Amino acid sequence: MFRNVIIEKAYNKILAHSLKVSGKKIKKGKVLNKEDIDLMKNLGLKEIYVFDNNNNYISENEASKNIAKLILGKNVKLEKVVNGRADFYSNINGMLKFDFDIITKINFEYEDVAISLLKSESIVKKNQLIGNVKIIPYAIKKNKYDKIINKNLYSNLLSVVKPSIKKISLVLSSNDSDEKQSKKIIKSINARLSNFNLIVDLVLYNKHTKEDILNSLLKLKKINTDLILFYGSTSIVDKNDIFPNSLKKASGKVLAFGAPTDPGNLLMIGTLGNKKVIGVPGCAKSPLRNGFDDILEKICFGIKVDKKTISFMSNGGLYKNFIKKG
């Protein structure tokens, strides 16, 4: 508990606020020793504000370390705990996933505990800091700590996962032979995929006609691929455009067309048998993040994407960042 004590009784207590004594700084959180107390006496201090860490409390470092161990799942590593903060890092390139509702419940119900994380479904790199557990005071009451640590509901709440997609095919459709543009879009898509250790395995080139696109889709229907990306020399502008129409003729399905993301409005998702299909918007040739990135990441990591998912993308869907002059 926090309280004022006379200097003589401050030994082995935790200093609540930093102090400057004879030019020397004694930092908050320090367990006071005889030298500290002698310095304070020489300054003429009679009382000091401390945290009295008795047997009813668990120290900040021990508590944060053990709570972090409890909530961490696969591909996450815990580093050294300092000042009641247990930092944890990703062990792989992948996607951070956690139970948002339960993390929120812990933060709401236990005011002594703060769990800070990157956003759920963030793409993270190996050794990247992804979150921490912080004990707000210098210790937590043992009964509160026990309630958290003994709750199976809080076990393995967060992890970093690998993609569920393994093989990716790209269809490039154009009536003009533009090798430079083709290389640019392949490079841009592979740069995105490399963030989670994937790459385009097969590229098919065809004319931007229903017949040629249908033939490519029928060919892809028979081979081992998990995701088909279609990039046309002209964007898909309607759910009955050339590519969606060809997909339906190949016995595929159009699940949704259009997205509340800018850039990235002209985006289509569908299926061809058990394969996922993305009609890629023109903005994908740019390395800047846009709506395509969100859809690509979700599908590559096995997150269900439908019209409802896409409608939610309005929240944060504006990727342009500028202030109009005047």
Give the model's pLDDT for residue 51: 77
Q: Are residues 287 and 210 in the same domain?
A: yes
Position 273 pLDDT exceeds 80 = yes
Q: Are residues 179 and 303 in the same domain?
A: yes
Q: Are residues 101 and 155 in the same domain?
A: yes
Give the model's pLDDT for residue 63: 96
157-213, pLDDT tens digit by residue? 999 999 999 999 999 999 887 788 899 999 999 999 999 999 999 999 999 999 999
Handedness of CA 145, 150, 156, 157 (dihedral sign): negative
Q: Are residues 173 and 307 in the same domain?
A: yes
Give the model's pLDDT for residue 88: 98
Q: Are residues 213 and 153 in the same domain?
A: no
Residue 245 covered by a domain: yes
310-324, pLDDT tens digit by residue? 999 999 999 998 888
Give the model's pLDDT for residue 277: 98
Mean pLDDT of 88-95: 98
- CATH code of 27's domain: 3.90.105.10
Q: Are residues 140 and 258 in the same domain?
A: no
Structure tokens, 296: 């690509």
Give the model's pLDDT for residue 35: 82
Position 3 pLDDT exceeds 80 = no
Give the model's pLDDT for residue 284: 95
Residue 322 covered by a domain: no
Position 24 pLDDT exceeds 90 = no
Buried b (16+ CB within 10 A) or exposed e, 96-121: bbbeeebbeebeeebebbbbebbeee
Query: What percentage of the chain carries pLDDT values higher than 90?
Result: 75
> For residues 59, 63, 64 and 68, what is the CA-based torsion angle, rounded to 10 degrees?
160
d(CA 66, CA 277): 43
Residue 36 covered by a domain: yes
Q: Are residues 88 and 19 in the same domain?
A: no
- CATH code of 133's domain: 3.90.1170.30
Residue 285 covered by a domain: yes
Mean pLDDT of 147-159: 96
- Give the three-state DSSP class for 61: helix
Residue 318 covered by a domain: no
Mean pLDDT of 140-156: 95
Give the model's pLDDT for residue 18: 80
Q: Are residues 214 and 299 in the same domain?
A: yes
How many beta carbons lie within 10 A of that of residue 57, not counting itself?
21
Q: pLDDT tier at 325 (50, 70, 90 boundaries)? A: confident
Least confident of 10-14, 82-86, 178-182, 215-219: 10-14
User: Which residue, 161, 183, 200, sits at the end of a domain?
Assistant: 161
Residue 91 covered by a domain: yes
Residue 200 covered by a domain: yes
Residue 254 covered by a domain: yes
Q: Are residues 147 and 122 in the same domain?
A: yes
Give the model's pLDDT for residue 29: 77
Phi, psi of 176 (to 5 degrees): -115, 140
Q: For residue 88, which of 132, 38, 147, 120 has the smallest C-alpha distance?
A: 132
Structure tokens, 3: 């309280």
User: Which residue, 127, 144, 161, sits at the end of a domain?
Assistant: 161
Read off the pTM. 0.87
User: Which residue, 161, 181, 203, sits at the end of a domain?
Assistant: 161
Give the model's pLDDT for residue 40: 81
Q: Are residues 200 and 70 in the same domain?
A: no
Count of the separate structural domains present in the chain: 3
- Give the three-state DSSP class for 44: coil
Total number of residues shown for the chain: 326
Q: Are residues 191 and 296 in the same domain?
A: yes
108-132, pLDDT tens digit by residue? 999 999 999 999 999 999 999 999 9
Give the model's pLDDT for residue 145: 96
Averaged confidence pLDDT in the chain: 93
Q: Are residues 61 and 41 in the same domain?
A: no
d(CA 152, CA 86): 20
Range of the domain at 28: 2-51
Q: pLDDT tier at 22 (50, 70, 90 boundaries)? A: confident
